[in-house]
Amino acid sequence: MARRPSAAEQAMSLEQLDGWLQMIEPPPKVTGTSMLDGYLTAIVIGPCAIPPDEWMVDLLGHRGRIANAAGAALAAITAIAGRFNAISEDLSIAPGRHAPIFEKTDDGRVLPHPWCMGFLAAMQLRIEAWRPLLNRDRIEHGLMLPILLHCVDAAGQPVLGPPRKGPETVAFLRSAYHDIPPVIREIRAFWMPSRVRQAKGQP
């Protein structure tokens, strides 16, 4: 778990963090708090623990070097650590109440794509460890479908291939995000035995 910020450290609000992530150059791996939330969720529930020093640099580049952070970068890191800890605690204590941060249009329509792309970005840090859930021959692969459904590859093509055309597909894609919160809990449960073994130093 990322360290908790001390009372002496002042974190950005999530709204301030969203603006900071969109402003800094070179750009970070995530473009706002929704994509960040997906990234952090994958770190929390993934197949193995990843040191904060590693994923924070992957996320923010040189600004993510925790030991050297100061000013706005420190405030951002503190806010990110706070959200990481909140996700971890929610899923440990009250998993049914955990709510991903999805972007929304002005008329309230949910846009799950940024969150899912953040999740996929974090998977790349340990992509080989994720292989059991990426194997389409395994029934557990179904846990990844609500997330991968909203992801594209480096060429901008759907990770799961082009969807079928028609109004039914459009309606399905607009509502498929409802399946993401339950699969977050199921993915966490799938990896929990291996996480426990790792924590005990067992193979």
Encode pLDDT of 30-85 as tens digits: 999 999 999 999 999 999 999 999 999 999 999 999 998 899 999 999 999 999 99
- Find the range with the poorest average confidence among 30-34, 59-63, 86-90, 172-176: 172-176
Q: What integer pLDDT is reported at residue 48 of this predicted model?
A: 95
Q: Is 85 exposed, middle or buried (0-12, 13-18, 19+ CB in 10 A)?
A: middle
Cα 79 to Cα 69: distance, rounded to the nearest angstrom:
13
How would residue 162 be classed by pLDDT, with cut points 50, 70 and 90?
A: confident
Residues 116-138: pLDDT tens digits? 999 999 999 999 999 999 999 99
- One-letter amino acid of 147: I
Q: What integer pLDDT is reported at residue 111 of this predicted model?
A: 93
